[in-house]
């Protein structure tokens, strides 16, 4: 019996070994050349790998300056692909985390230049461009992102946001609707679709989206505030006052929204 258990365990381990092996990095091969050029290349490659490890550790420790220095040095070593685009991408992450958005945008652009199908770099470049209010740039990258990954939730959400902020309401509606057809439970997209409808004066459709968002997330303060503004527009002052009061109550982490909701509630009361 014991022998049978041992055989089964051995078979199980043997089957899972390839899966476990994928958890570890492939060790660098020992140099098999005495050529100085090959030895130099191997040394450079070892330095690149070591600097990646140092940079990623620094990022984990929130030491963005040290991380950026490591990834910059990797780029100076002229790595091939995928390490070149990856170093540029990681440099962009470090710079964005440090608040250097212009530098981060340049790094993500470099990553995409070196690897035109790099979806994560496109996603981060759009996030940075939205953060620095470069809407046209964000939109251009978002168009590429959607073309490369038409069902990507991030691509649709990002382009929808850029389009909404630029006033291209047709594209915004199409992107948020497609995102919701793939993931109907995503309350934030219902809210943004509601904002899109409200900007086109489709108030019934907007109200439907905001109430759907609230059905999915009852403490969604921003959606509750939006319902209040639509009720106020309809002349339902009591309903609006209740909605603003509830929005203020739920907006714990957003002091500006809380202040605005209280202001609206009090303006209706008096």
Partner 1 sequence: MLTRSVARPFLVLLFVFATACAGFALANAGVLSGAGVQPLVPSGAPPLLGAINELGRKGWACAPERAAGAKSARAAELPDIP
The interface with partner 1 within residues 86-145 (CB under 8 A) comprises 86, 89-90, 93-94, 96-97, 115, 118-120, 122-124, 126-128, 130-131
Minimum CB separation of residue 268 from partner 1 in Å reads 6
Minimum CB separation of residue 202 from partner 1 in Å reads 13
Any contact of residue 76 with partner 1 (CB under 8 A)?
A: no
Q: Which positions from 24 through 43 interact with partner 1, judged by CB under 8 A?
A: 25
Residue located via tokens 């470090």: 94
Q: Is the peptide bond before 58 cis (omega within 30 degrees of 0)?
A: no
Q: How many residues bind partner 1 (CB under 8 A)?
A: 75
Tokens of 176: 């948020």
Minimum CB separation of residue 7 from partner 1 in Å reads 30
Minimum CB separation of residue 1 from partner 1 in Å reads 38
Q: Which of 141, 146, 232, 248 binds partner 1 (CB under 8 A)?
A: 232
Residue located via tokens 């603003």: 244
Query: DSSP letter at 28?
Result: P
Q: How far apart are CA 77 and CA 48, in angstroms?
A: 8
Contact 128, 92 (CB under 8 A): yes
Q: Which positions from 242 through 261 interact with partner 1, judged by CB under 8 A?
A: 253-254, 260
For residue 173, the Cα-to-chain-centroid distance in whole angstroms is 20
Residues 6+ apart with CB under 8 A from 18: none
Any contact of residue 56 with partner 1 (CB under 8 A)?
A: yes
Q: How far apart are CA 106 and CA 143, in angstroms?
A: 18
Q: Which of 102, 113, 151, 200 binds partner 1 (CB under 8 A)?
A: 151
Any contact of residue 200 with partner 1 (CB under 8 A)?
A: no
Q: Which of 141, 142, 173, 186 binds partner 1 (CB under 8 A)?
A: 186
For the CA atoms of 164, 186, 231, 165, what is the dihedral angle to 10 degrees? -10
User: CB-wise, 40 or 232, nearer to partner 1?
Assistant: 232
Contact 201, 217 (CB under 8 A): no
Any contact of residue 157 with partner 1 (CB under 8 A)?
A: yes
Residue located via tokens 């049978």: 4
User: CB-wise, 3 or 179, nearer to partner 1?
Assistant: 179
Any contact of residue 187 with partner 1 (CB under 8 A)?
A: yes
């Amino acid at each position: 019996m014991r022998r049978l258990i041992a055989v089964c365990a051995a078979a199980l381990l043997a089957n899972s070994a390839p899966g476990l092996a994928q958890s570890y990095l492939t060790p660098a091969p020992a140099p098999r050349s005495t050529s100085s050029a090959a030895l130099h290349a191997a040394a450079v490659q070892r330095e690149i790998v070591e600097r990646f490890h140092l940079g990623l550790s620094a990022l984990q420790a929130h030491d963005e300056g040290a991380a950026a220095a490591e990834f910059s040095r990797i780029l100076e070593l002229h790595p091939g692909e995928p390490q070149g685009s990856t170093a540029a991408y990681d440099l962009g992450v470090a710079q964005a985390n440090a608040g250097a958005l212009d530098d981060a945008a340049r790094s993500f652009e470099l990553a995409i230049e070196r690897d035109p199908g790099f979806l994560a770099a496109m996603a981060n470049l759009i996030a940075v461009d939205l953060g620095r209010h470069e809407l046209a740039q964000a939109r251009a990258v978002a168009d590429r992102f959607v073309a490369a990954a038409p069902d990507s939730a991030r691509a649709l959400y990002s382009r929808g946001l850029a389009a909404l902020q630029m006033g291209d309401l047709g594209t915004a509606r199409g992107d948020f609707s497609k995102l919701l057809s793939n993931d109907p439970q995503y309350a934030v997209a219902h809210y943004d679709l509601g904002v899109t409808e409200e900007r086109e004066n489709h108030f019934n459709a907007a109200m439907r989206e905001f109430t759907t968002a609230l059905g999915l997330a009852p403490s969604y303060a921003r959606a509750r505030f939006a319902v209040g503004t639509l009720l106020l527009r309809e002349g339902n002052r009591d309903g609006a006052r209740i909605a603003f009061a509830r929005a203020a109550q739920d907006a714990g982490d957003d002091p500006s929204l809380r202040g605005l909701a209280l202001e609206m509630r009090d303006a209706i009361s008096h």
